[in-house]
Amino acid sequence: MNARSALGRYGETLAARRLVEAGMTVLERNWRCGRTGEIDIVARHGDTLIVCEVKTRRRGDFEHPLAALTPRKAARLRGLADRWIQAHGGAPPGGVRIDLVGVVLPRRGAPVVEHVRGVA
């Protein structure tokens, strides 16, 4: 595992912890759909399915992690959500929501974890 993937994995662990603290149940992490892509975290909140993209950055990197969700990436996440639903028996009664968790790791001190609901 290289440093970049270790950084991403650490951020996803912090994000999953934040989602659980917010009352969600993590169903899967790093769900892959062939060459189409990957969903970082799939969770459930009540009867709503949450597809969560996680972006992790070190303090001082060029772009804040919450700015990394482009319209193209949002469209890809919607497509992946549809494929996850097809593979797991259909849409939940509460529908699907796409969330973003941004993790910033400062040089010193605790990580900053921001959760934004319904980004796409």
Q: How do residues 79-92 score in pLDDT, each as one tens digit?
A: 999 999 999 988 89
Mean pLDDT over 94-108 rounds to 92
Most confident residue range from 5-14, 16-25, 52-61: 16-25
Q: What's the CA gap between 74 and 67, in Å, rounded? A: 12
Structural domain spans, the chain: 3-116
**What are the tens digits of pLDDT across the range 13-44?**
999 999 999 999 999 999 998 877 999 999 99
Distance in angstroms (rounded) separating the CA atoms of residues 6 and 4: 5
CATH code of 3-116, in short, is 3.40.1350.10
pTM: 0.90
Residue 89 is classified by DSSP as T
